[in-house]
A = this chain, B = another copy of it.
Amino acid sequence: MITFAMFGAGRIGKIHAANIAGAEGARLAYIVDVDRAAMDHIAKLTGARPATREEVLADRSVDAVVIASPTDTHAELCVAAAKAGKAIFCEKPIDLSLKRVDACLAAVRRAGVPMMVGFNRRFDPNFAALKSRMDKGEIGTLEQVIITSRDPGLPPITYLKASGGQFRDMTIHDFDTARWLLGEDPAEVYATGSCLVDPGLAKIGDIDSCMVVMRTASGKLAHINNSRRATYGYDQRVEAFGSKGRMIAGNVAPTTVELANGDTVSADKPLHFFLERYAQAYRIELAAFLNALAKKRPMPVGAADGRAALVLAEAALASLKSGRAVKPKF
């Protein structure tokens, strides 16, 4: 039985809390958040005890922490948890600053605790099946990857201001997906973008629409397209092209119902957003963390993966500013 404490009682915290509560071999002992009501809500749902950070870290019975608090607290909590000897599941990103990420990772390494980063796409059954079938050679040697990742709508400006910008906040998932699918690190990153959804974003130095092209040392090519607007739901697709064929993982719809009438033949829109689309991925992700802990195996998505995706985001930012392909320094 692995005993958990959860930092953060927001949207994602709630999901992870429910998944821990429902997982075999796990129990959620503590929930920590500055928002008393949110904390109590999770406590009530799961039986976890509201607590302070200090209580949690001091309790020797706590084996692992899930860090789902605001981004700017991730690195610090990782370091504190590592020092207290807890295994760490940290939501992405580890931090918006590569320097702080490096310091955090050094602390984790010194403490020798396992750390996993929450790139949920890798656990989506569709993307995972694509990857695993690709690894079995079903499309031969991989040549090109296209990642389409578009959010249903613009988040509030306060969220965006603290987000680190589209590359670090949104594309970071796709950078990880690209690395994972390519099986190789991009050697060159080109990125461009625009404020098409809200021209006002230019004022805060952000963009809401972007396209990225990357090339690996062996010549594989990857494209990412992002938008903060998709009226038709959460658009999350992957296309992989290889020497023997193409594999596509598409969107997920709530039902298979199809209506044909005098106008068109129509089907359901994709599921609305990440809470719906990745509900299953969050469960599988947590189970993978538990399984790695229980069997003392390497984490399926390591701290280094969290760092590498940020390196690509930084390279994209440099490319956006310079108009040149940038070589990421991992």
Q: Which residues of A contact B (CB under 8 A)?
A: 22, 125-126, 129-130, 133, 138-139, 141, 143-144, 146, 148, 150, 188, 190, 192-197, 209-213, 215, 219-223, 225, 227, 229-233, 235, 239, 241, 243-270, 323-325
CB pair A245–B227 under 8 Å, yes or no, is no
- Whether A323 contacts B323 in the complex (CB less than 8 A), given A225-B223, A261-B245, comes out as no
CB pair B264–A244 under 8 Å, yes or no, is no
CB pair A227–B143 under 8 Å, yes or no, is yes
Copies in the complex: 4
CB pair A256–B251 under 8 Å, yes or no, is yes
- Whether A262 contacts B244 in the complex (CB less than 8 A), given A196-B219, A225-B221, comes out as yes
Known: A211-B223, A227-B241, A249-B257. 17 other contacts (CB 8 A): A22-B22, A126-B255, A141-B196, A143-B194, A143-B229, A146-B148, A194-B221, A196-B219, A212-B213, A213-B213, A223-B223, A232-B245, A235-B246, A244-B262, A248-B257, A250-B257, A252-B256
| A17 nearest CB across to chain B (Å) | 15
CB pair B244–A248 under 8 Å, yes or no, is no
Highest count of chain B CB atoms <10 Å: which of A148, A190, A244: A190
Residues of B within 8 A of A144 (CB): 196, 209, 211, 225, 227
CB pair B262–A232 under 8 Å, yes or no, is yes
Can you report 16 residue pairs joining A to B where beta carbons are below 8 Å apart?
A138-B259, A139-B259, A144-B225, A146-B148, A146-B225, A194-B215, A196-B219, A230-B241, A231-B245, A232-B261, A232-B262, A246-B259, A260-B270, A263-B269, A266-B267, A324-B324
